[in-house]
Amino acid sequence: MDIYSDSKNLKRVLEKLVGEKIRFLLNVPHSGNSRSYIATVNNSLKYFVKVYYRDDKDLKRRSVVEYQSLKYLWDKGIRAIPKPVAFDKDNKIAVFEYVCGTPIDTEKLKNEDIEQVISFIKNLHSLSKGNKNGNLYSASEACFSVSEIIENLNSRFRRLHTFAKDNKEKDLSKFLSVKFLPAFCKIEKWCRTESKKHKISFDKKLPKIYRTLSPSDFGFDNCLRRESGRIVFLDFEYFGWDDPAKMISDFLIHPKINLPDKFKRKFIEGTIEVFGRDKKLKERLEVVFPLFGLKWCFIMLNEYLPENFQRRVFAAAGPLDKKRICAVQLAKAKLMLKRIEDSYTKLPY
């Protein structure tokens, strides 16, 4: 029987995993890639359960990556993450500590919050040193040269543009052809010029000594604040080796979190210090920052593609209005593109 459609069967699988009787199992619909539940064992103990979407094309094996990555970090003493409890590889189910916390309110941020983020990055970077961790995955779509980022953008553009033409998605096609492509070409030309100016190789890959372990999808959107004030970092499906410039860019430009500039400046100063051995990091960040902003435009448009939309339907545990959702996402992509066009010639923080 399919555990995805039978809560009783899912409870039995979970009870075998955790070795305890599950009293309640609450589905928590959301817009991610997996189906989520809160499992209650007794009045004081709860688990957070993720049932991952079955997708043979998912070569990164998100469920394996997330659980193994969190277990690795936990075993190394990092506690600013949910404790991994159990994993069922066959059914793609992961059980974690239930984090009792609240979403991060950026209007109430303090310097200490940014310091917690920098401390977490520093801990990840400390684990990155040496060759002992070489068996860990690269982060999802990790790019270690400017040219690789450009190719990733080109690949995403071709796929979306082809889909738009084949499926007569006129609004999407118009945005990609009339708005996005000219901006992309303009920004790519600028990046090439700036790379030469700062003596940053366009094609040479970033040496391994400058790479770091990263959650990849990194921002306050994937965090909770405990009652104690401590921040817990969530969602490690894309975790792995990456360029620190990518991690920094994502945190600064994450579309769901609008950080005040003073905190963005503090974050950049702190992370540049953490990666002090990489003398070209700041210049490389200035070059690639707008490219990752363009990538966010494509991420926002993922719902147009059938396989990505099906993951959203699975996570929501019910039907979704694709036309409405895509229209909203297209509007967000337009805003992101304008934001990048208005600031790409200079890192605005």
- CB–CB of 46/80 below 8 Å? no
Dihedral sign (CA 52, 53, 54, 55): negative
pLDDT digits (tens, 9 = 90+) for 254-277: 888 888 899 999 999 999 999 999
User: Looking at residue 43, what is its pLDDT?
Assistant: 75
How confident is residue 57, by pLDDT bands cut at 50, 70 and 90? low
Q: Write the CA distances from 216 to 151, 153, 249, 327, integer angstroms.
A: 18, 17, 10, 26
Number of H helices, E strands in the chain: 11, 10
In the numeric block, which tokens belong to residue 180?
């996005």
Q: Is the pLDDT of residue 3 over 70?
A: no
Q: Are strands 212-214 and 240-242 parallel, antiparallel or unpaired?
A: antiparallel
Domains detected in the chain? 7-98 (3.30.200.20), 102-341 (3.90.1200.10)
Q: What is the pTM of this model?
A: 0.92
Inform me whether the pLDDT recorded for 60 exceeds 60. no
Confidence of residue 68 (pLDDT cuts 50, 70, 90): very high
Burial class (CB in 10 A: 0-12, 13-18, 19+), 213: buried
For every residue of 24-50, DSSP letters joined together read EEEE---SSSEEEEEEESSSS-EEEEE
Q: Which of 15, 48, 53, 19 is nearest to 34 (CA)?
A: 53
